[in-house]
Amino acid sequence: HAHLLGIEPLAPSDISTILDLSDRYVDLNRRDQKHSDALAGLTQINMFFENSTRTQASFELAGKRLGADVMNMAMQASSIKKGETLIDTAMTLNAMHPDLLVVRHPQSGAVDLLSQKVNCAVLNAGDGRHEHPTQALLDALTIRRAKGRLHRLSIAICGDIAHSRVARSNIILLGKMENRVRLVGPSTLMPAGISEFGVEVFEDMREGLRDVDVVMMLRLQRERMDGGFIPSEREYYHRYGLDAEKLGHAKADAIVMHPGPMNRGVEIDGEIADDINRSVIQEQVEMGVAVRMAAMDLLARNLRAKPKEVMA
């Protein structure tokens, strides 16, 4: 693959290849000396048109640990503010010969479009409601390490599915790896046509969590609700907030996940989030650096194998 735009184009063997390499980078990241030269001589530009803590920091650390020259574009301070378009901005940076462009953008499809205009490898760091592939990969790595496998697991994704690129990428990945995916949440936060994805849908959280291996919580993404249905936080927490009682319906060894940023007391009880016997939220963050190192390493191998002009 020339780019990492989504989980959709990946085969199960591609996913396993990325996760196997990520495991090796987890080991490297736990050493005192964290450096490799997999990206030595290459230039990585991070362009985040939406806020980020985890994705931006981990892509930056990943590039630096692999020896790339990493530049973070401060998009709020860029000439986008003077009316320059996304594509013109990307073409301008492309003329500086980057090798890897990491892009987050509020519009679904914007990163795909950009990848067709530039002649470097593009990694999607989240585009609108479409995909967030490195998030799904880091979630998969976390699950595989906690459960010892990534197939035939029962996984509940709970909350605001409709606005979530994290849910979409996870549904696609977990389905490709032959897991049973349940979606739990109010019908107003379920996307239209979701049954086509081969998932089960539950409005009742206790039913949806019954005997699952993994509980994945999502934030209410108010920034994408554009004036539509916005539930009250109290009512939402009562029906869909993960607390000890609701978690009691899952398997006794079920793990609790959240991609972050989380809103304590809205979709998750703070004590559950901090319970090191159940919550793997900090492990997810750790896996995020390793997965991004693996993804960029594999794209760089592809770059080095092909002259730029013939890249699709």
Residues that bind ligand CP (CB under 6 A): 52-56, 126, 135, 259-261
Choice between 73 and 303, CB closer to ligand CP: 73
Total Cβ atoms within 10 A of residue 20: 12
Looking at residue 54, its amino acid is: R
Is 288 annotated to bind a ligand? Reply is no
Is 135 annotated to bind a ligand? Reply is yes
The residue assigned the tokens 């593009």 is 122
CA–CA separation, 238 and 245 (whole Å) = 11
Q: How far is the CB of 52 from ligand CP (least distance, A)?
A: 3
Is 134 annotated to bind a ligand? Reply is no
Give me 263's structure tokens.
Answer: 């809103």
Q: How far is the CB of 125 from ligand CP (least distance, A)?
A: 7
Q: By the 8 A CB rule, do 269 and 242 touch?
A: yes
Which residue has its beta carbon closest to ligand CP? 55
Choice between 38 and 166, CB closer to ligand CP: 166
Q: How far is the CB of 239 from ligand CP (least distance, A)?
A: 24
Exposure string over 225-240, b if 16+ CB within 10 A, otherwise e: beeeeebeeeebbeeb
Q: Which residues contact 28 (CB under 8 A, 6 or more apart)?
A: 34, 36, 65, 290, 293
Q: How far is the CB of 56 from ligand CP (least distance, A)?
A: 6
Q: By the 8 A CB rule, do 290 and 20 touch?
A: no
Select from 160, 149, 286 the least CA-distant residue to 217: 160
Q: How far is the CB of 88 from ligand CP (least distance, A)?
A: 25
Is 221 annotated to bind a ligand? Reply is no
Query: Any bridge partners for residue 127, and if so which?
Result: 105, 131
Is 54 annotated to bind a ligand? Reply is yes
Query: Any bridge partners for residue 255, and if so which?
Result: 214
Q: How far is the CB of 51 from ligand CP (least distance, A)?
A: 6
Is 97 annotated to bind a ligand? Reply is no
Q: How far is the CB of 179 from ligand CP (least distance, A)?
A: 20
Choice between 2 and 225, CB closer to ligand CP: 225
Choice between 93 and 217, CB closer to ligand CP: 217
CA–CA separation, 67 and 176 (whole Å) = 33
Choice between 89 and 284, CB closer to ligand CP: 284
Q: By the 8 A CB rule, do 190 and 156 touch?
A: no
Opening angle at CA 47, ends 41 and 52, nearest 5: 115
Choice between 58 and 154, CB closer to ligand CP: 58
Backbone angles phi, psi at 84, to 5 degrees: -70, 140
Is 132 annotated to bind a ligand? Reply is yes
Annotated binding-site members for carbamoyl phosphate: 54-55, 104, 132, 135, 260-261
Annotated binding site: 54-55, 82, 104, 132, 135, 165, 219, 260-261
Give the residue numbers of the binding site for L-aspartate: 82, 165, 219
